[in-house]
Structure 1
Amino acid sequence: MSLVTLLPFIVLIGAMFLMTRSAKKKQQQALDMRNQMQPGSGVRTIGGMYATVKEVNEDTVLLDAAPGVELVFAKNSIGAVLSDDEYNRIVHGIEHDLKNDADIVPDDASSLTESDDSAAGAPDDKPVDLGKKDQADEPADEPVAAEAKTDEEPKKTDGDTETK
């Protein structure tokens, strides 16, 4: 056999080797991730449900989905183990900012309310133009022109057309 006939087989075997190697690596990463689960950590199942791990057994995991709701899942059904910050952000909507842990509280309440001077300086008497016109503002000739304009446009039908 010549090298030209063996080359496609060699390339095919090399591709199969690379695919199985990457699949084994992904399986090992998933196994490590599932083994790092411990009670109290937040998880996402492969079905997209977020819960907190309550108990870890050999093949199953007891999840606390809501107060009083405990579910038993297979370990293989855990899609991701989430960090505490990520779990709180997704489930509770809590954004944890590491740069600014302290709340900013003003020294006095006057900075929280609008002062009387700035409120008196803003005239609220002027009407706001939203670009809409009232029916009473339009001249009587315009509805007739609008009807003539609609007659010129082709009308839609129920789908009955003569062209096929």
Structure 2
Amino acid sequence: MLLPFIVLIGAMFLMTRSAKKKQAQAAEMRNQMAPGTGVRTIGGMYATVKEIGDETVLLEVAPGVHAVYAKNSIGAVLEDSEYNRIVHGDEPGEVVPDDASSLTEAAEESTEDVKADLTKKTDAAEGDKDGKADGGTEAK
């Protein structure tokens, strides 16, 4: 009789403990915000922090466009490299070309030798005078 009650209290303790941890992590993340930092809101909008108030944050969502958000609406504070990669499309590392023009010359030479034969075969068409695919003229 006492065991289910103890299990219930233990489960409640564990749930509140994990919720407090998440709240502490969110508060720490919001404390990392500074003017010029890139952020993602909980709605998925990417913006740059302009000013930080007690409960609000002024975000620049586009050049010259500012919006006031609650601090609780900031979902993530992003590193500069991650923000630039997502918002501006800056890709660090190897650049992959959009077309095949920069491939090696050896691959181009090998494709020049192979040509497709697109001519119509007239002797095959003459063999199928009855229109049947098997070439036979008898009914089966």
TM-score (norm 2): 0.71
1:40 aligns to 2:55 (yes or no): no
Partner of 1:89: 85
Distance 1:142 1:128 in 2: 30
Structure 1 82/6 Cα, relative in aligned 2: closer, same or farther at 3 Å? same
1:137 aligns to 2:124 (yes or no): no
Q: Which runs of 5+ in 2 are unaligned?
A: 94-103, 134-140
Structure 1 124/36 Cα, relative in aligned 2: closer, same or farther at 3 Å? closer
Specify which of 64, 67, 73 is matched with residue 68 of structure 1: 64
- Number of residue pairs the alignment of both structures matches: 120
Q: Residues 1-164 of structure 1: matches in 2 within 5 Å? A: 5-96=1-92, 122=109, 126-129=113-116, 134=118, 136-137=120-121, 139-140=124-125, 141=128, 144-145=131-132
CA drift of 1:143 comes to: 9.8
Q: Secondary structure at the match of 1:93?
A: coil
Q: Secondary structure at the match of 1:144?
A: coil
TM-score (norm 1): 0.62
Structure 1 56/143 Cα, relative in aligned 2: closer, same or farther at 3 Å? farther
Partner of 1:153: none
Distance 1:127 1:89 in 2: 41
Structure with higher RCO (Cα < 8 A, 6+ apart): 2
Q: Secondary structure at the match of 2:10?
A: helix
